[in-house]
Structure 1
Amino acid sequence: MTISKITNMQYKRILLKLSGEILGKSGSKGIDHVELQYYVKEIKKVHDMGVCVSIVVGGGNIHRGSKSLFQLDRTESDHIGVLATVMNGIALRSCLENNGVPAIHMSSVHCTTICDFYKRQEAVKALDSGHVVIITGGLGLPYFTTDTAASLRAIELGAEVMLKATNVDGIYNADPNIDPYATKFEHLTFQDAIEKNLAVLDKTAFVLCQTHQLPLIVFNAASPNALLRVIQGEHIGTIVSDYKKPNIYSVYSK
């Protein structure tokens, strides 16, 4: 990795949480090739600058366990959701490789003929050698969201920040797609987010980030160069940290 490439980057080691929904077309199920290509190119921009990128991907574009329309046992429904994230990971790794980005796909569940089993030490080695590390399977357990998995993996892999890429431009006090008067938060503490019961992350994920002082930025991934702008220190989206001032970038700069 060339040091000169990362001198203008605010963050050098990130975990990107990709919501499954952004990999598909709105209102439909499955993986949309155009959307997948778009996000891969956005990831490539920061990878080519020398940033270490790990990714936890959701599976909501294929199956969401807690909101299944089928009359399934919740545990079994969550198991289907876990496998949906693996499917997204296969597509994401393949597309990254096809765009010249070295990538490795690891899963928290054993899928040995498809991808590697997640091991922290191996993931760290892959990151340090310049690979994008895609982690799927959530925590491999029912009742735990991929947001919780993302928070834990970010801590394990030494990420300086967790970035949640969604289809809205931050955290609001109500759903901006439904409520025209919804107000966007520029900055929140983790305690604020927990007490306000904001649904952007589950409480377990918020508590993990708070306990380990891992800042979170929620942003609209569909905005051109959004990921690169966040990495460079531009304040877009909503910042969640236990620092009252919104400028956390200088606090976490290394």
Structure 2
Amino acid sequence: MAAGKYKRIVLKLSGEALAGNQGYGIDPVVVDAIAREIKEVKASQLDVAVVVGGGNIWRGLAGSAKGMDRATADYMGMLATVMNALALQDALEHCGVDSRVQSAINMQQVAEPYIRRRAIRHMEKGRVVIFAAGTGNPYFSTDTTAALRAAEIEADVILMAKKNADGVYDSDPRHNPNAKKFKELEYIEVLQRGLGVMDSTATSLCMDNKIPIVVFSIDKPGNILTAALGKDIGTIVGGEKK
């Protein structure tokens, strides 16, 4: 299968996406299904990198809100992303996809250190690279990690796979039946209206580096491939106006 408009993608997966309907922890069945979708994307000759969140295990902001030191809480969240990355790597390997986990925090027994050139080389060799442990710094989200890594590896797009959301709306569609879904948005609109596509740091980084963001639902099988091939899906932020 021939690739579409993109050649190199960064897929951003939330921790909640790996938890499935149970809402917490790691659901092996769900992770296996995601791995098989990533395999389909690889069959389209695209370079694939993945950034995983850790909210299914631990949220740094939640810990901080309850009195924990913010930096400590964030480091715990980074460790949660490593657990998710290893689970995804295992699922990918089981379905025949070569992969490497690169961690921003040095833990050589379980993952490679993040090295930009090595990550690019892995993708050139057909491997999926999974970026774990965020940026390695507290106070930065995994959304910012996705934006930073996308810029570093010169990705064409960030695919934001959302659970329970099929795009970006002007208000919460779960509470407002008249909420309007956007087909296209400019970065500055996202920032000015506080639409929550990504946090402001991540959105600004994408804007500065002209990296489009596609927000779509991960709940429907096949959507990852649809988004990766550049087909009409969800909401695109910063793309070329049609």
TM-score range, shorter chain: over 0.9
Task: Quote the offset at 1:242 in angstroms.
Answer: 6.0
Task: Quote the offset at 1:70 in angstroms.
Answer: 4.8
Change (3 A) 1:226 1:214: same
Cα distance in 2, alignment partners of residues 28 and 13 from structure 1 = 30
Cα deviation per residue 1:29-86 (whole Å; 9 max; x = unaligned)?
1001111111111111011221110001000111111123753111111111000000
| Equivalence map 1:88-237=2 (5 Å) | 88-167=84-163, 168-237=165-234
Q: Contact 2:159–2:228 at 8 Å: present in 1 too? A: no
Match of 2:54 in 1: 59
Cα distance in 2, alignment partners of residues 230 and 148 from structure 1 = 20
Cα distance in 2, alignment partners of residues 12 and 242 from structure 1 = 15
How many residues are aligned here?
Answer: 240
Cα distance in 2, alignment partners of residues 95 and 137 from structure 1 = 19
Task: Quote the offset at 1:27 in angstroms.
Answer: 5.3
Identify the range of structure 1 (210-219 vs 28-37) with the bigger mean alpha-carbon deviation: 28-37
Match of 1:33 in 2: 28
Match of 1:251 in 2: none
Identity %: 41
Q: Contact 2:15–2:55 at 8 Å: present in 1 too? A: yes
Change (3 A) 1:92 1:207: same
Q: Contact 1:188–1:240 at 8 Å: present in 2 too? A: yes
Task: Quote the offset at 1:227 in angstroms.
Answer: 1.5
Cα distance in 2, alignment partners of residues 140 and 26 from structure 1 = 29
Match of 2:41 in 1: 46
Change (3 A) 1:70 1:98: farther
Match of 1:72 in 2: 68
Task: Quote the offset at 1:183 in angstroms.
Answer: 1.7
CA RMSD of aligned residues (A): 1.4
Q: Contact 2:16–2:23 at 8 Å: present in 1 too? A: no
Unaligned ranges ≥5, structure 2? none
| TM-score, normalising length: structure 1 | 0.90
Q: Could you tell me which amino acid in structure 2 is paired with residue 106 of structure 1?
A: Q
Task: Quote the offset at 1:111 in angstroms.
Answer: 0.9
Q: Could you tell me which amino acid in structure 2 is paired with residue 234 of structure 1?
A: K
Match of 1:252 in 2: none
Q: Could you tell me which amino acid in structure 2 is paired with residue 96 of structure 1?
A: L
Q: Contact 2:9–2:47 at 8 Å: present in 1 too? A: yes
Cα distance in 2, alignment partners of residues 240 and 156 from structure 1 = 19
Q: Contact 1:210–1:242 at 8 Å: present in 2 too? A: no
Q: Contact 1:190–1:242 at 8 Å: present in 2 too? A: no
